[in-house]
Amino acid sequence: MRETHTIENQPTANTAPATTAPATAATAATAGVIATQVVLPGVVEPTGLEITQVAAPTPGQGEVLLAMAATGVSFAEQQMRRGKYYDQPPFPFVPGYDLVGRVVATGQGVDTALTGRRFAALTKTGGWASHVVVAAADLVEVPESVTSADAETLVVNGITAWQMLHRTAEVEAGDTIVVLGANGGVGSALVQLARIAGVRVIGTASPRHHDKLRELDVTPVDYRDPDLYGRLRGLAPNGVQAVFDHVGGEAVVESFRLLAPGGTLVSYGTASTRDAAGSSKAPVLKLFARLAMWNAMPNSRHAHFFNIWAGKRRAAAFRERLRADLGQVFALLAEGRLKPQVAARVPLSRAADAMRLAESGTVAGKVVLVPDEALGDARDAQTGR
């Protein structure tokens, strides 16, 4: 593992606040503030997303209110709108896996000095709103030199990529790895972090993304090639040290077969079943059974399912890990060594357009949602930074 960068003045679950807000201060700070939320009412097409105006929520004990500066479309929302995310809440709910925002109000027991500072938070749902309440202990500070949209591309994606690479697969310089979906949000973070660690990367993507992947020093392969796995084996005849597979389904067997002795399959999704009929849990449970079987067999290879929420019940350790890992990712971003992949910036009120774009298969990186006022005119969605 690399050296851990720590973030100064970081609020933690165990840090006693120096100054605390009176109970009524949060209520006063949010009085009269109207929040915009995007609501997922049920299984709908992107046009079925509802934009609602509500009173801004008041942060309670240990919480802060963030004014959202950037949130984004993850694959999880694409699954949730189909009712296909493994443990999504019942409809209706506000989606939004993560966000970056400034603290505009603090609840009881929270250091009032956090007000005005900018943080990232992992929420799973709720991020697609102009104002979002989160636990102060879940905040990770964003370096001021980094834009909110750039930071947003690397919250869930950066944590996932970093932890899979360095905590699960434990890659080392000189290793060769295969990354499926290398142009996606997680994929583009993963390939860059791997290159920074001195790892050779073979990445699958649609041909339209191949030039971009070459720029990132990745060897691209078309994932629709009928001989995909033959091509991958040809590029690494002795096998690879790790395969990162978010596709699942039957082809995961082929991913496992790509491993060199001692290699690790990191499975972290079932994208291939996003549009399949039936239970959202069945493909995941089948995958778990398969991975368990491979681990039980004497084949000197390992198979893991990565879950970003694993260990959440041990909250302090979970938060410490998350803060350390996202801190490393943000430090690399601030140093310019990690290039944020902003596919487009779209106003929050046009979440439907953002979702369609993210699902179009044409984008490289992450589609970022920003407050309508950040783009001046909500009719003017911008591509790029």
Ligand X SMILES: NC(=O)c1ccc[n+]([C@@H]2O[C@H](COP(=O)([O-])OP(=O)(O)OC[C@H]3O[C@@H](n4cnc5c(N)ncnc54)[C@H](OP(=O)(O)O)[C@@H]3O)[C@@H](O)[C@H]2O)c1
Q: Which residues bind ligand X (CB under 6 A)?
A: 74-76, 156-157, 160, 180-181, 183-187, 205-206, 223, 246-247, 268-269, 271-272, 306-308, 358, 361
Given a contact cutoff of 8 angstroms between Cβ atoms, the answer to whether 306 and 284 are in contact is no
Q: How far is the CB of 80 from ligand X (least distance, A)?
A: 10
Task: Considering the complex, state which of residue 23 and residue 315 has its C-beta at the smaller distance from ligand X.
Answer: 315
Task: Considering the complex, state which of residue 247 and residue 329 has its C-beta at the smaller distance from ligand X.
Answer: 247
Residues 6+ apart with CB under 8 A from 377: none
Q: Which residue is nearest to ligand X (CB)?
A: 184
Q: How far is the CB of 362 from ligand X (least distance, A)?
A: 7
Task: Considering the complex, state which of residue 158 and residue 371 has its C-beta at the smaller distance from ligand X.
Answer: 158
Q: How far is the CB of 181 from ligand X (least distance, A)?
A: 3
Task: Considering the complex, state which of residue 21 and residue 155 has its C-beta at the smaller distance from ligand X.
Answer: 155
Task: Considering the complex, state which of residue 93 and residue 306 has its C-beta at the smaller distance from ligand X.
Answer: 306
Q: How far is the CB of 310 from ligand X (least distance, A)?
A: 8
Task: Considering the complex, state which of residue 34 and residue 309 has its C-beta at the smaller distance from ligand X.
Answer: 309
Round to whole Å and give the CA distance between 331 and 318.
20
Round to whole Å and give the CA distance between 49 and 44.
7
Structure tokens at 320: 């410490």
Q: How far is the CB of 206 from ligand X (least distance, A)?
A: 4
Given a contact cutoff of 8 angstroms between Cβ atoms, the answer to whether 267 and 248 are in contact is yes
Using alpha carbons, select from 287, 354, 306, 362 the residue that is nearest to residue 81.
Answer: 354
Round to whole Å and give the CA distance between 145 and 164.
27
Residues 6+ apart with CB under 8 A from 270: 246, 247, 248, 249, 283, 284, 287
Task: Considering the complex, state which of residue 26 and residue 242 has its C-beta at the smaller distance from ligand X.
Answer: 242
Q: How far is the CB of 53 from ligand X (least distance, A)?
A: 28
Rounded (10°) CA dihedral 221, 225, 226, 228: 10
Q: How far is the CB of 72 from ligand X (least distance, A)?
A: 8
SS3 102: strand
Q: What residue has token string 């970003």?
A: 308
Q: How far is the CB of 184 from ligand X (least distance, A)?
A: 2
Task: Considering the complex, state which of residue 30 and residue 157 has its C-beta at the smaller distance from ligand X.
Answer: 157
H-state helical runs in the chain: 23-30, 75-80, 148-152, 156-162, 185-196, 210-215, 228-235, 252-257, 282-296, 315-334, 351-359
Round to whole Å and give the CA distance between 187 and 349.
27
Buried b (16+ CB within 10 A) or exposed e, 193-227: bbbebebbbbbbbeeebbebbeebebbbbbbeeee
Task: Considering the complex, state which of residue 115 and residue 294 has its C-beta at the smaller distance from ligand X.
Answer: 294
Q: How far is the CB of 48 from ligand X (least distance, A)?
A: 19
